Structure 1
């Protein structure tokens, strides 16, 4: 049952299809109790202290006429459009400034009173006066048109927002693809770089192996080339040694024939003659060498003097 002590038995307030809860000092609507009487399509809640309607009130879709005049309503629930069977709505003398956008969905609404509410300018202009039945019907029609226009604006704004969100999502996906492509590109470049390094390393190893093989071949060839002249070197050395021994022998013979008593022997006569001739030739050559040295000294002296003169 309701929290309001004065509404002790809702059944006592029902007469046919009408529920009269006016002048009951209510601060809230007894939604649960009203839901128990779906045949009560007309509810009078006027002259109470109701500040707001709970969202559950909009589940009473069986309601056809609702009187909320002379209350303290400052707003209506966003779900108000769910009352698809509502035809008559009295909101006279409340504190409403705007209506929920879903108000445009009350397609069955034929009568509306919004007098004595601090409505915003556009809504007040659409509502006009409600001094008689005709004006209240016009109020319902014009307010529905006004709210449908607001609904269209809200829908367009929502659609624009959704399009913007989709565009942002598309750009986000595009950036994600670009990052993935860039990452794949860097990965391929890295793999190509590593493959090039591996190829260079392999080529370097091949070159080193080739150079090593060529070095071994050259070494073998050098060994062959160097080993071939050895008999020749041995032969030349042997001949040089023989020649040296021969010269030593000749010098020894000359010394014996020159300095011993054998110098008068027939064998030593030609040796002594050859030695004397050699000494004579050497003396002559000594004179020639001395003369050559004097000439070179004179020439050098003249060259130095001429050089000194040219410097001065």
Structure 2
């Protein structure tokens, strides 16, 4: 029993493994076969220059397959569930007539205007509200049907009723005119926006130049201030140097003046020497005279000449002089002191006047 259960589990595990390994391959092959069937079906649906893909329950346009048949210029994609056209659809420039009526289209690609050969476009019973601006470039378009679409009022007015061939042709003409007006408005708005952006760029550049000019002026002012500061420092250094030189010069002049004053003082001090010599000579003469007189007086007093008549007046004078000298000793001393002080003051005043 245990062996049977074990074998059953092993078989189950093996089947699961094979499924996991083989399922992606089988799915890929199925997808490839499905795509191949599409191509084969597309070939089957081509009749001359027409491709009939209506009522195929398509949710997207087989753009790659259609591109393989450039001679198929008429494509019928009506009565499907297509919600949007891929951007690559705009590369099918060989298309002349396209029927997309009774689908679920909510918008068209922006480059729809690249379909330069498109003449007939049926968009009946979709969910379109607006058309791309490039729609105005469909210059070959001669027939257009936009009935039963929730179009915006301006576009709905231009599209009209489109109840017959004539009205559908008028719809193509008026819608192209309407879209060209919108294109002009868009171009004008774009030009205005570009002009505004250009003006803003100019203003930005002007502000940039103004900021650069301010920065340049600030750098220039800083350089000028730095130069002025260095100049002031240099002037201060030169002034200090000049002041030191002036002080040095004054000091030298002062020393020189002191030297000259010393020389003058020496000259002044040496100048009175002749006067002192004259006074000393005068004193010497007076001293000699006094000595002579003293010698005569001594001869007349101490020798035998005192009896002579010549010595009589001398003796009398000596006696009178001695008596007077005794009386005037103090006066003479004071007089000598006064003379000495006067002579000293005279010399000092003379020296001061010369200085």
TM-score of the alignment, normalized to the shorter chain, above 0.5: yes
Kept in 2, the 8 Å contact 1:2–1:33? The answer is: no
Listed as ranges, the matches of 1:14-29 within 5 Å are: 14-29=46-61
Runs ≥4 in structure 1, deviation > 6 angstroms? 1-6, 264-267
Kept in 2, the 8 Å contact 1:91–1:112? The answer is: yes
Q: CA deviation at 1:214?
A: 1.9
Of the three residues 189, 200, 225, the one matched with 2:232 is 200
Quote the residue 1:270 is aligned against.
328
Q: CA deviation at 1:185?
A: 1.2
Listed as ranges, the matches of 1:240-255 within 5 Å are: none
Q: CA deviation at 1:48?
A: 0.3
Quote the residue 2:84 is aligned against.
52
Kept in 1, the 8 Å contact 2:39–2:65? The answer is: no
Q: For each residue in 1:214-253, what CA deviation from the matched residue of structure 2 results, as whole angstroms up to 9, or x when unmatched?
A: 22221111112112333666777xx9xx9xxxxxxxxxxx
Quote the residue 2:104 is aligned against.
72
Measure the CA separation in 1 of the matches of 2:181 and 2:62: 33
Greater Cα radius of gyration, structure 1 or 2: 2
Q: 1:3 to 1:138 in 2, by over 3 A?
A: farther
Kept in 2, the 8 Å contact 1:93–1:116? The answer is: yes
Of the three residues 110, 135, 153, the one matched with 1:121 is 153
Q: CA deviation at 1:64?
A: 0.2
Q: How many residues align?
A: 255
Aligned: 1:158 with 2:190: yes
> SS of the residue aligned with 1:89?
strand
Quote the residue 1:135 is aligned against.
167
Q: CA deviation at 1:54?
A: 0.3
> SS of the residue aligned with 1:38?
coil
Structure 2: runs of 5+ lacking an equivalent: 1-31, 277-321, 336-355
Measure the CA separation in 1 of the matches of 2:190 and 2:116: 23
> If each structure's helix is expressed as a fraction of its own residues, which one has the higher value?
2
Listed as ranges, the matches of 1:37-116 within 5 Å are: 37-116=69-148
Listed as ranges, the matches of 1:179-190 within 5 Å are: 179-190=211-222
Measure the CA separation in 1 of the matches of 2:34 and 2:188: 43
Q: For each residue in 1:179-203, what CA deviation from the matched residue of structure 2 results, as whole angstroms up to 9, or x when unmatched?
A: 1111111111122222222222222
Listed as ranges, the matches of 1:272-291 within 5 Å are: 272=330
Q: CA deviation at 1:276?
A: 9.9
Measure the CA separation in 2 of the matches of 1:4 and 1:114: 33
Q: CA deviation at 1:61?
A: 0.3
**Aligned Cα RMSD in Å?**
2.8
Structure 1: runs of 5+ lacking an equivalent: 243-263, 278-312
Quote the residue 1:302 is aligned against.
none
